[in-house]
Structure 1
Amino acid sequence: MRICLIGSGLTSLALAKALVNQNIHVDILRDKKKQLIDQSRTIGITKSNVEYFNNNIVNVDKIIWKLNKIEILSDKLNKEKLLEFQNKNQELFSMVRSFDLYNILEKSLKKNKLVKIQNQINLENIQNKYNLLINLNFSNLITKKFFSKKIIKRYKSLAYTLIVEHEKIDNKIARQVFTRIGPLAFLPISNKETSIVYSIKNTAKIQEENLIELINLHNPKYKIKKIKKISSFELLSANLRNYYHNNILAFGELTHKIHPLAGQGFNMTIRDIKILLEIIQNKIDLGLPINSSVNEEFQKNVKHRNFIFSNGIDFIYEFFNYESKIENNFLVNSLKYIGRKNSINNILKKLADTGLNY
């Protein structure tokens, strides 16, 4: 049995490693140009997904930074905490640099005889060469032919990502500030560095000095020494209408792309990997063929969950977007009151950790 992955990003490497760990032969077809990973980008991974990653893909304990508290603030409440999530003496989620995660996955795959990486993509007559063909590429012929129908929402916003170096502090608390111009996240990656993501309601690029000035209006405690490269990208959400065509399966952000405010994009993908691997392993255990039935079962299991979860993230964005436009504080004060209820707080923490899979 052999499975082909088209694409060489983080999702492709993570899925490939999960498959070869189940003794499945994997071919990775990637562009001739070397994959460039933006060193200003970081990823948040929930506690349950870190555990799955360590046990089923590759151990990432050496490259992650564990966070034990999340604070949600609104600038309407003058930096007063709106919501707070924490576990006693346990991490809620962890941060990792995209560059570090990519390198550890690539290194682990290079040593594995079950994986073959080809630096060219020839998609002609490829469908019949593999049991499954998993496509993660946004712009190739397969995507244009079979996976172009999506439900898309454009936020008319740009997300700015950067990493700042600052004086050493106890840096275990993530903060999300809902400002009048968009959500701003401070995401620690060490005691001396913090990743910042600012999603600003404007498609016109902001000059670096103006961006730093906007960030510092809400800077909770960091005495910044150095600002690393700033990157930006347009914000949109997208849900694919159909996940598969025969034995070809769309996967990762190609099927679901969401607003970054909750840091759930890669977590959704890890949950998809878990479900796909369970389906494949169940087929193997029962002596059933690995074919299009895998794709059919995968779509049946995850499509509705991903759509609901994606819309839940969009609802959060729209809630605070609407709240920022009204003059009174009724909505944020109501949310503050509800969030103090332990039962509701625990449900929200569980949803953030495991998605709709619990």
Structure 2
Amino acid sequence: MKVCVIGNGLVSLTLANVLIQKDLFVDIYATKKNDLKDQSRTLGISKSNIDYFNNEILDIKEILWEIKNIKIYTEKNNKEELLKFNNKDNQIFSIIRNNKLHKLLFNKLKKSKFVRFKESYDVDKSKYKLVFNSDPTHSIIKKFFSSKIEKKYDSSAYITTIIHKKIKNHTAYQNFTKIGPIAFLPISNTETSIVYSLNTSKKKSDLEMNDLVKKYNPIYSIKRIHVWRNFQLKSSSLRNYYKGNILAFGDLLHKIHPLAGQGFNMSLRDIKFLSSLIDERINLGLDLDESICQEFQKNSQSKNFIFSSGIDWIYEFFNLESKINSDLLKKSISVIGSNKVVKQFLQKFADSGIRY
């Protein structure tokens, strides 16, 4: 049986690697080449998704950096931890460079007899049992998948990497400042990725961003700050996941605020569920058709929307302190921090999403 994947981003290549393990022939359509030289882009992967990746897709242990502690602050309480999550024996989640993961996924696909790469966007859906599209620029999007629930944050995400003196670097820091959340995400003992979501549409210069990093720097002796990259922030949820045998995927289904680093994790959970649907059909000797798309939407759409809304609520809740002069946030977080059951629920929610 033959299927089609449109796009060559991390979600597309991860999905393709899952599909070929089922002995499905996969045509990958992509005309844009990814910039593998960009080392500033990183992503967080939850513990449960790391286990799934290593056991079912590809061993990525060598390119992961374990995070064992998370410390959360606000600008009003810059020196006092509002909330802390830790796991001294195992990682809570891990950080990985986008370009390294992309290279591993791509190289495995290149060696597979089940894969053909096509430098074209001219896709004849009638040739394939199923078509999976995670490319937001493809004409299929405008034709079938333009209806969505969208929220614009009127803010931008700024990302870079700092080089610093060597330390034991397994603690992630999140500070909810007056102008937006800034995250320090370790990627080695001498490097840390920074994601700063600024609540302003006015573009900041590299010098201005460097000053902000120095202001909110939690522990690092910084030697160098790389060039900053930025992009506009918004969240969206697609109203219809599929059209016929074409299933939208990745950020096309759900785009969320990056403060919790959950975008790629949501897509991995989608891939895991889709994989189980396909396995069930194959094991029963049934054909792959659009009923898989129907079942996927029926079981995933509400869960994804609830999870996305939860992330948005967290952003708005922490952003409240910059809008009102109140100790409401500190008191609320103190209750959470002292309640083991609530903390365990939050960690499980972040690790496994709605499906656990």
Q: Distance in 1 between matches of 2:78 and 2:262?
A: 27
- Partner residue, 1:328: 326
Deviation, structure 1 residue 338: 2.1
Query: What TM-score does the superposition give when structure 2 sets the normalisation length?
Result: 0.98
- Partner residue, 2:34: 35
Residues 78 and 175 in structure 2, CA contact (< 8 A), matched pair in contact too: no
Letter aligned with residue 284 of structure 2? L
Q: Give me the CA root mean square deviation.
A: 1.0
- Partner residue, 1:282: 280
Using the TM superposition, name which of 181-190 and 77-86 deviates more.
77-86
Within 5 Å, give how 1:27-106 maps onto structure 2: 27-31=27-31, 33-37=32-36, 38-106=38-106
Using the TM superposition, name which of 10-19 and 224-233 deviates more.
224-233
Provide Cα deviations, 1:113-157, integer angstroms capped at 9, x if missing partner. Answer: 11111112213xx11100001111112211001000011100000
- Partner residue, 2:223: 225
- Partner residue, 1:215: 213
Q: Distance in 2 between matches of 1:331 and 1:43?
A: 27
SS in 1 for 2:324: coil
Pairing partner for 1:292 from 278, 285, 290: 290
Query: What TM-score does the superposition give when structure 1 sets the normalisation length?
Result: 0.97
Residues 280 and 290 in structure 1, CA contact (< 8 A), matched pair in contact too: yes
Provide Cα deviations, 1:59-100, integer angstroms capped at 9, x if missing partner. Answer: 100101011111111111132111111124111000000010
Residues 83 and 340 in structure 1, CA contact (< 8 A), matched pair in contact too: no
Residues 151 and 236 in structure 2, CA contact (< 8 A), matched pair in contact too: yes
SS in 1 for 2:216: coil
Pairing partner for 1:309 from 287, 307, 310: 307
Pairing partner for 1:347 from 310, 327, 345: 345
Deviation, structure 1 residue 337: 2.2
Deviation, structure 1 residue 204: 1.3
- Partner residue, 2:184: 186
Runs (4+) of structure 1 exceeding 6 A deviation are: none
- Partner residue, 2:120: 120
Q: Distance in 2 between matches of 1:343 and 1:34?
A: 46
Q: Distance in 2 between matches of 1:330 and 1:314?
A: 19
Using the TM superposition, name which of 183-192 and 202-211 deviates more.
202-211
- Partner residue, 2:161: 163
Residues 54 and 60 in structure 1, CA contact (< 8 A), matched pair in contact too: yes
Q: Which runs of 5+ in 2 are unaligned?
A: none
Pairing partner for 1:143 from 141, 152, 176: 141
Letter aligned with residue 231 of structure 1? R
Within 5 Å, give how 1:13-24 maps onto structure 2: 13-24=13-24
Using the TM superposition, name which of 336-345 and 50-59 deviates more.
336-345
SS in 1 for 2:219: coil
Deviation, structure 1 residue 322: 1.8
Letter aligned with residue 116 of structure 1? R
Task: Establish whether residue 235 from structure 1 lines up as the match of residue 233 from structure 2.
Answer: yes
Q: Distance in 2 between matches of 1:178 and 1:348?
A: 18
Deviation, structure 1 residue 40: 1.1
- Partner residue, 1:109: 109
Q: Distance in 2 between matches of 1:35 and 1:172?
A: 29
Q: Distance in 1 between matches of 2:137 and 2:104?
A: 26
Provide Cα deviations, 1:192-237, integer angstroms capped at 9, x if missing partner. Answer: 0000000001111101111111121110111111122210000000
Letter aligned with residue 214 of structure 1? L
Q: Distance in 2 between matches of 1:296 and 1:107?
A: 32
Residues 76 and 329 in structure 1, CA contact (< 8 A), matched pair in contact too: no
SS in 2 for 1:278: helix
Q: Which runs of 5+ in 1 are unaligned?
A: none
Letter aligned with residue 74 of structure 2? S
Deviation, structure 1 residue 334: 2.0
Q: Distance in 2 between matches of 1:207 and 1:229?
A: 10
How many residues matched? 355
Q: Distance in 2 between matches of 1:44 and 1:79?
A: 25
Letter aligned with residue 215 of structure 1? V
- Partner residue, 2:174: 176
Residues 281 and 287 in structure 2, CA contact (< 8 A), matched pair in contact too: yes
SS in 1 for 2:173: strand
SS in 1 for 2:166: coil
Q: Distance in 2 between matches of 1:226 and 1:68?
A: 25
